[in-house]
Amino acid sequence: MLNAWLKKYLNKNRMDRLAGNFTGKIGRTTRLSMDAATVVSTTMPQPESPTQEIPDPDFTDTVYYRSPLRPGGKTPRLIQRFFNQYTTAIFSCAILFGASTSHAEQVVIYSARIEQLIKPMFDAFTKETGIDVKFVTDKEGPLLARLKAEGKNTPADMLITVDAGNLWEAAQEGLLRPVESKTLETNVPAYLRDPQNRWFGLSVRARTIIYNTQKVKPSDLSTYEALAEPQWKGRLCLRTSKKVYNQSLVAMMIAEHGTARTEEIIKGWVANFAIDPLSDETKAMEFVAAGRCDVTIANSYYYGRLMQKKPALPLAIFWPNQEGSGVHVNISGAGITKYAHNVPAATRLLEFLSSEKAQNLFADVNMEYPVNPKVKPDPAVAAWGTFKQNTINVTKAGELQSEAVKLMDRAGYR
Ligand code: FE
């Protein structure tokens, strides 16, 4: 009887911690009662008209919430105090032993990738290993803040997010732990993972040039840097510099050219703007298609998704910097949390996500490229052609991010 009551108390505490903080910043509170269904999710809004934005697939304004109870976790400090005060040491040991025996059954994920992009892989992993995967999704900022605030009491074993800049930040904050795995070293090229093995790329996103096929010839284009030349005056549309994708692009340019040369390039871009920076790169591509400007820079999956919806738009991809350092690539990726409860199972999941079996699922679902060199991209993505990637380690995107932000500010890129 006491045993049952204690279990209920422990579960309630864990659930409160998992469900309790998603308020305010996402404009909606999701809080489940103990008896509520274990899955809460809503469908991503789909664009219906040209004026409606295609939502960014990396983020969500909805909290997805699965199976709040985590029988395999460590006992939080509050519960430890409870045990110390009200139960005998022998009884505590029995409960903790019971919890520890279920550690191998479950991995808890905090994910900045939305449910549609991650659930198919988790289902495949569970099917293969029997290990259950629970996940919570939110924007990366709240997830990082939450990991920090929870400290060693976090229920999360793994963080999945996009952009090396974000993963670098999580590692810098001490939220991730190094993972030694020959499988990950083999499956993930060195330039797409943390040199200290605290995070690993799982899909590659290429940030490339998109142009209006009625106004621009491919031979007019060459590099990101050349978009600063006077021939592009009044012809360039870009997404805001506040987006981490542009911060990472500029950080990688600093890594290659140094600060002074990069600042000249960014000033050149600003001088060539047709309109003020836009909040969204799908919108920027639509402006290019509508003739408001001739060229933009976007992640190729946005192009793929827009063209699936509106195949008649006069847009095409150009792969820049092929004579030089290659196309700027970034990643979506993951790391195991510093205070993970179930490191072996989380490592197994990370290895699975990098495997040939899971890589297509992980990349194709968002029209990205696999990180695993043995895996080919989806045919629809492969149709855009092959290209040389910039192989400077993506960790530079994090290391030089604040310098990039300051540089863009000085250059007047808002
Ligand atoms: Fe995105």
Provide the CB-side half-sphere exposure for 359 (13 A, CA): 22
Q: How many Cβ atoms sit within 10 Å of the Cβ of residue 209?
A: 23
257 Cα to the center of ligand 1, angstroms:
26
195 Cα to the center of ligand 1, angstroms:
24
| Structure token digits, residue 138 | 């939110």
DSSP class of 102: T
Residues 275 and 292: their CA atoms lie apart, in Å, by: 8
160 Cα to the center of ligand 1, angstroms:
14
302 Cα to the center of ligand 1, angstroms:
7
91 Cα to the center of ligand 1, angstroms:
50
181 Cα to the center of ligand 1, angstroms:
28
316 Cα to the center of ligand 1, angstroms:
19
Q: Are 57 and 308 in contact (CB under 8 A)?
A: no
For the chain, the farthest-separated pair of C-alpha atoms sits apart, in whole angstroms, at 79
Same fold, 104-203+331-376 and 205-328+400-410: yes
254 Cα to the center of ligand 1, angstroms:
22
- Distance (Å) of CA 267 to CA 16, 185, 270, 411: 49, 39, 5, 5
57 Cα to the center of ligand 1, angstroms:
6
162 Cα to the center of ligand 1, angstroms:
8
Q: Are 295 and 209 in contact (CB under 8 A)?
A: yes
Residues contacting residue 363 through CB under 8 Å, at least 6 positions apart: 203, 204, 369, 370, 371, 375, 377, 378, 381
Q: Quick one: CA dihedral 359, 361, 365, 367, positive or negative?
A: positive
Q: Are 34 and 99 in contact (CB under 8 A)?
A: no
pLDDT at residue number 104: 53
Provide the CB-side half-sphere exposure for 63 (13 A, CA): 21
Residue 21 class from Cβ within 10 Å (0-12 exposed, 13-18 middle, 19+ buried)? middle
353 Cα to the center of ligand 1, angstroms:
19
166 Cα to the center of ligand 1, angstroms:
13
89 Cα to the center of ligand 1, angstroms:
51
pLDDT at residue number 225: 98
What are the two backbone dihedrals, phi and then psi, of residue 134, each rounded to the nearest 5 degrees? -105, 145
358 Cα to the center of ligand 1, angstroms:
20
pLDDT at residue number 58: 65
Angle value at C-alpha 185, between 183 and 190, nearest 5 degrees: 155
Amino acid (one-letter) located at 40: V
286 Cα to the center of ligand 1, angstroms:
16
Average pLDDT, the chain: 81
410 Cα to the center of ligand 1, angstroms:
25
251 Cα to the center of ligand 1, angstroms:
18
44 Cα to the center of ligand 1, angstroms:
14
pLDDT at residue number 105: 87
56 Cα to the center of ligand 1, angstroms:
5
Q: Which residues sit opposite 209 in a β-bridge?
A: 297, 318
What's the per-residue H, E or C state across 119-140? HHHHHHHHHHHCCEEEEEECCH
| Structure token digits, residue 374 | 């043995």
317 Cα to the center of ligand 1, angstroms:
17
300 Cα to the center of ligand 1, angstroms:
10
Amino acid (one-letter) located at 378: D
Q: Are 120 and 361 in contact (CB under 8 A)?
A: yes
* DSSP line for 141-155: HHHHHHHHHHGGG--
Q: What CATH code is assigned to 104-203+331-376?
A: 3.40.190.10
93 Cα to the center of ligand 1, angstroms:
47
pLDDT at residue number 136: 97
E strands, 259-387, in order: 295-299, 315-318, 328-337, 369-370
Residue 76 class from Cβ within 10 Å (0-12 exposed, 13-18 middle, 19+ buried)? middle
Q: List the helix and strand counts (H, then E) for the chain.
A: 16, 12
What are the two backbone dihedrals, phi and then psi, of residue 411, each rounded to the nearest 5 degrees? -80, -5
pLDDT at residue number 99: 36
236 Cα to the center of ligand 1, angstroms:
20
120 Cα to the center of ligand 1, angstroms:
19
58 Cα to the center of ligand 1, angstroms:
5
Provide the CB-side half-sphere exposure for 221 (13 A, CA): 24
pLDDT at residue number 57: 59
The per-residue pLDDT string of the chain (414 residues; one tens digit each, 9 = 90 and over) reads: 434 443 443 344 433 344 433 322 222 222 222 222 222 222 233 332 333 334 565 653 222 222 222 223 333 333 333 333 332 233 223 323 333 444 458 999 999 999 999 999 999 999 999 999 999 999 999 999 999 999 999 999 999 999 999 999 999 999 999 999 999 999 999 999 999 999 999 999 999 999 999 999 999 999 999 999 999 999 999 999 999 999 999 999 999 999 999 999 999 999 999 999 999 999 999 999 999 999 999 999 999 999 999 999 999 999 999 999 999 999 999 999 999 999 999 999 999 999 999 998 889 999 999 999 999 999 999 999 999 999 999 999 999 999 999 999 999 999
Q: What CATH code is assigned to 205-328+400-410?
A: 3.40.190.10
Domain extents in the chain: 2-87, 104-203+331-376, 205-328+400-410
| Structure token digits, residue 317 | 């991809």
- Distance (Å) of CA 309 to CA 59, 275, 304: 20, 25, 9
Helix or strand run (H / E) with residue 291: none
